[in-house]
Chains A and B, each alone.
Chain A
């Protein structure tokens, strides 16, 4: 078992069910000890591949997927939906799955619904704009805010 096996298991489970598996569930699914799985979770967290709820090993983010509902939903052409951590990540879900899809989100200022549509690998024209408040070098100071 490698850390990459754990990472891929987390992503595949999030895609399949929307829920991130616990350390125990992952250990059982991959046939490894809970302590080995926990150590892998910790390394993935330390390497910023996944993000935990503070003080736990409960996975909050396994980019581009969110383990909790967010306002940024990737709705795939096959009818399935997945939560992204932000609009970048929701678009990333579509890129990762390699299919057409829409990102449904809202204007941060006025809550008006916004849809970003990806068709045939291209983003459909839109009047929306993207704003990064935090410079790239400081994103990980508070990744949830970023």
Chain B
């Protein structure tokens, strides 16, 4: 998971390495992932999300489709 100044920099970085472009989205969406994913880690009894729960978190950040299937 990497951050870039702009999509132009993503494309250049992928082209230079011969990599397919993966999923590109906004830091706001990443923050929407980070809050539920990590926000309760200091709570006693915290559990990792099940795959279905994790896909729900992705969807809550607007991240859907095969790339986000577990």
Which A residues have a C-beta under 8 Å from some C-beta of B? 4, 7-8, 11-12, 47-49, 63-64, 86-89, 91-98, 105, 107-110, 112, 114, 116, 118, 122-123, 126-137, 146
B3 touches A87 (CB 8 A): yes
27 contacts between A and B (CB under 8 A): A4-B44, A4-B45, A7-B46, A47-B48, A86-B1, A87-B3, A89-B34, A92-B34, A95-B34, A95-B38, A96-B40, A96-B41, A97-B42, A126-B27, A127-B5, A128-B3, A128-B6, A129-B3, A129-B5, A129-B6, A129-B27, A130-B25, A130-B30, A131-B10, A132-B67, A133-B22, A136-B58
Q: Which residue of B lies closest to A90 (CB)?
A: B34
Q: Which residues of B contact A63 (CB under 8 A)?
A: 38, 41
Which B residues have a C-beta under 8 Å from some C-beta of A? 1-7, 9-10, 12-14, 19-31, 33-35, 37-42, 44-46, 48, 54, 58, 66-70
Given A87-B3, A129-B25, A133-B2: A109 in contact with B10 (beta carbons within 8 A): yes
Most chain-A CB neighbours within 10 Å: which of B14, B25, B39, B41?
A: B41
A88 touches B6 (CB 8 A): no
Contacts A95-B31, A118-B31, A131-B2 supplied; 16 other A-B pairs, CB < 8 Å: A48-B48, A49-B48, A64-B41, A91-B31, A94-B34, A95-B35, A116-B27, A116-B31, A127-B5, A129-B10, A130-B30, A131-B10, A131-B13, A134-B22, A135-B66, A137-B70
Q: Which residues of A contact B4 (CB under 8 A)?
A: 107-109, 128-131
B13 touches A128 (CB 8 A): no
Q: Which residues of A contact B30 (CB under 8 A)?
A: 87-88, 91, 130
B68 touches A88 (CB 8 A): no
Closest 7 CB pairs of A and B: A92-B38, A91-B34, A109-B9, A95-B39, A109-B13, A123-B31, A108-B2
